[in-house]
Amino acid sequence: MASSDPWGKTDQMEDAVLDGMVTRLEARGKYGPFMKMLDEYLGAMEIDGKQEVLDMGCGTGIVARTIAARSGFSGKVLGIDLSPYLVKAAARLAGEENLSQRVAFEPGDTRSLELADGRFDAVVAHTLLSHLDDPFSVLKDIARVVKSGGVVGIFDGDYGSRSYAQEDLEKMKRDNEIVNSAVVASPYVMRLMPRYLRRAGLELTACFPYVLAEVGQADYWGSAIESNRSLLPEAGAMTKEQADIWADELLGSSQDGVFFGACNFYAYVATKP
């Protein structure tokens, strides 16, 4: 059965929903601990020495723009995303940051890419695979388009571990389960990644485990909760009223300084022999 995950249907969303996605992706991409995770695995990929880089599921181009802006990078990044609206936003933001010489963005579906075999020195998929119903088939395609000796970086949440605290424990368990399955098509994909990488013919060379936990105030999780306030009804997982009650309770606990929210994240770096 196809997932309800709105991030996997960004070619069908209303502009108002997509505007909310732009806000969320940009807020997340500028959040210090998140930038640090990105920087760490890009370093392990030795991205500065790569000439042709692909950013699969680029969204607003946070990763493509970050790579292009690195002082040691002299190559080119191509960002591909399902949503023409997000691709347009990515190109505009790259222009505003004077990065247009180094990045290009194109609409495209990672499930049917027509890119040549072995075209790229490096491929990055940053929180893409968890939003796909069949992440392994896209990983195989990533392995196809990277050249022999090239490198792949897969970063994602282990969203099955994402948990927000609510006073009513039964409601907390129910709501966490709803949120993690409704807005993420493959919430456990990062646990299967070591075997998927091997099956796709890639060799795992580094893994970076992280926990993104906030206690007291929801700086990072606040914009995720705000975004899910509209995505949960969009996914058909909650009514608008239920989503408002859920979001208001969590954001209220942040205002009171008693918020708790956490999720594990992993970055895998693998090479193609």
Ligand X SMILES: C[S@@+](CC[C@H](N)C(=O)[O-])C[C@H]1O[C@@H](n2cnc3c(N)ncnc32)[C@H](O)[C@@H]1O
- Given the rule CB under 6 A, which residues bind ligand X? 7-8, 10, 25, 29, 57-59, 62-63, 81-83, 86, 109-111, 126-128, 131-132
- At 135 the three-state DSSP class reads helix
- The least CB distance from residue 177 to ligand X, in Å, is 20
- In the structure encoding, which two tokens stand for residue 235, read together? 């996914």
- The least CB distance from residue 237 to ligand X, in Å, is 17
Task: Specify whether the CB–CB gap between 24 and 60 falls below 8 A.
Answer: no
- The least CB distance from residue 57 to ligand X, in Å, is 3
Q: What's the longest Cα–Cα distance across the chain?
A: 53
Count CB-CB contacts under 10 A for residue 142. 26
CA 63, 250, 4 angle in degrees (round to 5)? 55
- The least CB distance from residue 86 to ligand X, in Å, is 5
Closer residue to ligand X, CB minimum distance, 78 or 132: 132
- At 54 the three-state DSSP class reads strand
- The least CB distance from residue 157 to ligand X, in Å, is 9
Closer residue to ligand X, CB minimum distance, 183 or 250: 183
Closer residue to ligand X, CB minimum distance, 7 or 220: 7
- The least CB distance from residue 197 to ligand X, in Å, is 19
Minimal CB distance residue for ligand X: 59
Place of tokens 């699969």: 56
Closer residue to ligand X, CB minimum distance, 83 or 186: 83
- The least CB distance from residue 258 to ligand X, in Å, is 28
Residue in 64, 104, 65, 110 with CA at minimum distance from that of residue 83? 110
Beta bridge pairs of residue 115: none
Closer residue to ligand X, CB minimum distance, 224 or 270: 224
Residue in 22, 2, 17 with CA at minimum distance from that of residue 81? 22
14 dihedral zone (left: phi>0; alpha: psi -120 to 50; beta): beta
Q: Give the strands of the sheet with 259-271, arranged side by side.
A: 103-107, 76-81, 52-56, 120-126, 146-164, 259-271, 203-216
Closer residue to ligand X, CB minimum distance, 172 or 264: 264
| Helix, strand counts (H, E) of the chain | 9, 7
Closer residue to ligand X, CB minimum distance, 25 or 270: 25
